[in-house]
């Protein structure tokens, strides 16, 4: 931090009193750099984590498109268009009173039963178009504003039972889990599966059928999603360690293959003795040098300058040889 001198402080005060400095302009410049942040709902996921979730539900959109196309015998185009982190109360307040909402349960190793609810909301336009098509209609949709009948709810229940396994398959590229259908809700104000202040991640899907266009939304509690992402991170680290260990093994084998062709000096050390230079000068044939080892002791077999083996002297096919007794 730079400390202003007294003269600089006087100049600054004079400029303020004379109007040479425009405070409004400076405040506007500063406000442009300010980013709003709601401390009541701090962000719990990084951009990288949301990219993983977005990738999962892009895959889910493709799987669901194929599933509905095969069921309805009508081309259904589904696209993942938006993902956001928000409070459940904000998500629920944005829904109309009458909805077609399927509640599911996420199951995986270590999951908590209190925070594994997942919701899939389908717009009425698409819901009535699916029902019409299943009952033999053209799939053009019905422009009606009424509650669903028991027969219609039964038909949609079968549709949702086949929809949630597609979500399980979408997650399988990252982590193995099961998403099971539990029930259908048609009144958004009566759903209390998630606390109003809890953070959720909402994925918006755009659906097109013939000339109709509607939307679907997937609501995942942050607590459940955090557990899944932690599992993915730990699984990724385990796989990375496994890959690294396999790579280390291959590198060791490669190094050993190169070393196997190397030439090394192999020396047999029968024993050691300390002799004066005078005695060595006067050595003659038949003289005896006393070594530091007994006659029946094992001798050292050195590779380079290190002792690797211990063995015993002998004769093999008329030549002196060493039989290895110990590996050091």
Task: Quote the mean pLDDT of the chain.
Answer: 83
- For the purposes of burial, counting CB atoms within 10 Å of the CB of 102, is it exposed (0-12), middle (13-18) or buried (19 or more)? buried
Tell me if residue 236 falls in helix, strand or coil.
helix
Whether the CB-CB separation of 323 and 314 falls below 8 Å is answered with: yes
pLDDT at 155 over 90: yes
Among the listed ranges 32-46, 57-71, 86-100, which one has the minimum average pLDDT value? 32-46
Q: What are residue 82's DSSP bridge partners?
A: 204
Mean per-residue pLDDT for 179-208? 90
- Phi, psi (rounded to 5 degrees) for 119: -120, 140
pLDDT at 100: 93
Rounded Cα gap, residues 28 and 32, in angstroms: 6
182 pLDDT more than 70 = yes
CA gap 311, 305 in Å, rounded: 17
**Is 85 within 8 Å of 184 (Cβ atoms)?**
no
**Percent of the chain residues past pLDDT 70, beyond the cut:** 84
Q: Is the pLDDT of residue 146 over 50?
A: yes
Q: Once rounded to an integer, what is the mean pLDDT over residues 281-301?
A: 83
Reported as a single tens digit per residue, the pLDDT across 221-267 is 998 888 888 888 776 666 656 666 666 777 777 877 777 777 778 88
Q: What Å distances lie between residue 283 and 136, 189, 286, CA to CA?
A: 116, 111, 9
pTM exceeds 0.75: no
d(CA 236, CA 66): 29
Judged against a pLDDT cut of 90, whether residue 297 lies above it is answered with: no
Which of 139-148, 157-166, 300-309 is predicted with the least confidence, judged by mean pLDDT? Answer: 139-148
Please check whether residue 133 is in contact with residue 113, taking contact to mean a CB–CB distance below 8 angstroms: no
What is the distance between the alpha carbons of residues 274 and 290, in angstroms, rounded to a whole number? 9
Range with lowest mean pLDDT among 58-62, 109-113, 296-300, 312-316: 109-113
Assess whether pLDDT exceeds 70 at residue 134. Answer: yes
Tell me, what's the pLDDT at 58? 94
pLDDT at residue 27 is higher than 50:
no
Total Cβ atoms within 10 A of residue 220: 22
């Amino acid at each position: 931090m730079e400390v202003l001198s007294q003269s600089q402080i006087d100049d600054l005060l004079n400029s303020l009193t004379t109007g040479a400095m425009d405070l409004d302009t400076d405040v506007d410049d500063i406000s442009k750099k300010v980013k709003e942040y709601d401390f009541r709902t701090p962000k719990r996921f990084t951009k990288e984590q949301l990219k993983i979730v977005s990738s999962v539900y892009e895959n889910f959109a493709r799987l669901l498109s194929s599933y509905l196309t095969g069921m309805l015998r009508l081309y259904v185009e589904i696209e993942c268009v938006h993902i956001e982190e928000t409070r459940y109360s904000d998500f629920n307040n944005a829904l109309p009173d009458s909805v077609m909402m399927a509640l599911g349960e996420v199951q995986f190793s270590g999951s908590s039963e209190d925070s594994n609810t997942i919701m899939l909301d389908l717009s009425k336009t698409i819901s009535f178009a699916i029902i019409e098509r299943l009952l033999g209609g053209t799939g053009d949709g019905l422009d009606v504003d009424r509650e669903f009948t028991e027969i219609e709810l039964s038909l949609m229940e079968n549709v949702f039972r086949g929809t949630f396994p597609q979500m399980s398959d979408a997650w399988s590229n990252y982590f193995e889990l099961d998403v099971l259908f539990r029930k259908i809700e048609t009144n958004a104000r009566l759903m209390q599966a998630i606390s109003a202040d809890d953070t959720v991640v909402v994925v918006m899907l755009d659906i097109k059928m013939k000339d109709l266009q509607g939307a679907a939304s997937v609501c995942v509690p942050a607590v459940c999603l955090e557990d899944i992402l932690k599992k993915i991170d730990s699984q990724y680290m385990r796989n990375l360690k496994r890959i690294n260990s396999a790579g280390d093994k291959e590198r060791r084998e490669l190094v050993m293959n190169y070393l196997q062709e190397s030439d090394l000096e192999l020396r047999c050390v029968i024993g050691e003795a300390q002799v004066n230079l005078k005695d060595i000068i006067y050595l003659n044939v038949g003289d005896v040098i006393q070594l530091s080892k007994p006659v029946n002791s094992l001798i050292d077999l050195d590779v380079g300058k290190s002792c690797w083996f211990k063995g015993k002297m002998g004769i093999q096919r008329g030549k002196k040889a060493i039989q290895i007794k110990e590996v050091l």
